[in-house]
């Protein structure tokens, strides 16, 4: 084998492979918890969310060389996560109905006393969010639980910024109505 021939099965030089592995490790450390939390907020099942997160990072690894940099890694990975979750839901052809308050296990840890005081309200809001249509639920979760801007939401969901803004406003209005009417319990759409 000549020195200038590509090494490895895929023609990558060892330095390219090492670079890709290091890049993936960085992205997994940086966004792993956020991807898992987003997957859980869609799928509402811990094991299913973990499987989805693995699928996300497999897709990220396979597409690292295709990343164009038109958006941030954060937005790109969130878009992949949303697509993986949507695909998983389509395959299952249903939404998992578990207790929404389990969502807190993937959130940021807060002061336990403050969490206890706000627990009832938080549970009502989460129940109400999950009773909303998917279009509104996605935007609300991405904006409030994942701190994405309207521009980032539009990129993740593949919609325009004005469409994201309208969904957010309509989702907020519907959410306010649900919370005032009892937190979204037994609400029908």
Confidence of residue 11 (pLDDT cuts 50, 70, 90): low
Interval 20-32: pLDDT, tens = 889 999 999 999 9
Interval 37-85: pLDDT, tens = 999 988 888 999 999 999 999 999 999 988 888 888 989 999 999 999 9
Same domain, 127 and 161: yes
Nearest alpha-carbon partner for 38 in 130, 137, 146, 110: 146
Q: Is the dihedral angle over the CA atoms 112, 117, 120, 123 positive or is it negative? A: negative
End of a domain among 58, 76, 92? 92
Confidence of residue 7 (pLDDT cuts 50, 70, 90): very low
End of a domain among 92, 125, 143? 92
Q: Check pLDDT > 90 for residue 175.
A: no
Q: Within 13 Å, how many C-alpha atoms sit on residue 86's CB side?
A: 12
Is residue 169 in a domain?
yes
Q: What is the pLDDT of residue 116?
A: 52
For residues 167 and 136, the answer to whether their CB atoms sit within 8 Å is: yes
Using a 10 angstrom Cβ sphere, with 0-12 exposed, 13-18 middle and 19 or more buried, the burial of residue 93 is exposed
End of a domain among 30, 59, 92? 92
CA–CA gap between residue 115 and residue 121 (Å, rounded): 10
Q: What is the pLDDT of residue 189?
A: 39
Q: What is the pLDDT of residue 9?
A: 42
Mean pLDDT comparison of 5-14, 110-119, 156-165, highest-scoring range: 156-165
* Domain carrying residue 65: 14-92
Q: Check pLDDT > 80 for residue 5.
A: no
Q: What is the pLDDT of residue 70?
A: 86
CA–CA gap between residue 61 and residue 65 (Å, rounded): 8
Is residue 35 in a domain?
yes
Q: What is the pLDDT of residue 173?
A: 92
Same domain, 85 and 131: no
Q: First-to-last CA distance in the chain?
A: 66
Q: Check pLDDT > 80 for residue 185.
A: no
CA–CA gap between residue 32 and residue 77 (Å, rounded): 10
Q: What is the pLDDT of residue 95?
A: 42
| CATH number of the domain that residue 122 is part of | 1.10.10.10
User: Residue 187 has what DSSP assignment?
Assistant: -
| CATH number of the domain that residue 52 is part of | 1.10.1740.10
* Mean pLDDT (whole number) for 101-130: 60
Same domain, 137 and 68: no
Q: Within 13 Å, how many C-alpha atoms sit on residue 36's CB side?
A: 17
For residues 107 and 145, the answer to whether their CB atoms sit within 8 Å is: yes
Same domain, 104 and 175: yes
Number of domains within the chain:
2
Same domain, 48 and 108: no
Same domain, 64 and 106: no
Percent residues over pLDDT 70 in the chain: 72
CA–CA gap between residue 71 and residue 141 (Å, rounded): 20
| Block residue for tokens 């060892």 | 14
SS3 22: helix
Same domain, 51 and 80: yes
Same domain, 69 and 112: no
Q: Check pLDDT > 70 for residue 98.
A: no
């Amino acid at each position: 084998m000549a020195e200038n021939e590509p090494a490895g099965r895929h023609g990558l030089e060892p330095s390219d492979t090492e670079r890709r592995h290091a890049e993936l490790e960085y992205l997994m450390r940086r966004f792993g918890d956020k991807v898992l939390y987003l997957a859980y907020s869609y799928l509402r099942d811990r094991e299913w969310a973990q499987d989805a997160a693995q699928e996300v990072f497999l897709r990220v690894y396979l597409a690292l060389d295709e990343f164009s940099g038109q958006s941030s890694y954060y937005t790109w990975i969130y878009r992949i996560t949303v697509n993986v979750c949507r695909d998983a839901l389509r395959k299952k052809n249903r939404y998992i109905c578990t207790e929404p308050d389990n969502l807190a296990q993937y959130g940021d840890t807060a002061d336990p006393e403050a969490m206890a005081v706000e627990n009832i309200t938080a549970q009502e809001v989460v129940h109400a969010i999950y009773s909303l249509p998917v279009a509104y639920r996605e935007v609300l979760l991405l904006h409030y639980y994942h701190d994405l801007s309207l521009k980032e939401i539009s990129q993740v969901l593949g919609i325009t910024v004005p469409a994201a803004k309208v969904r957010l406003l309509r989702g907020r209005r519907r959410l306010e109505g649900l919370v005032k009417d009892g937190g979204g319990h037994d609400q029908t759409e």
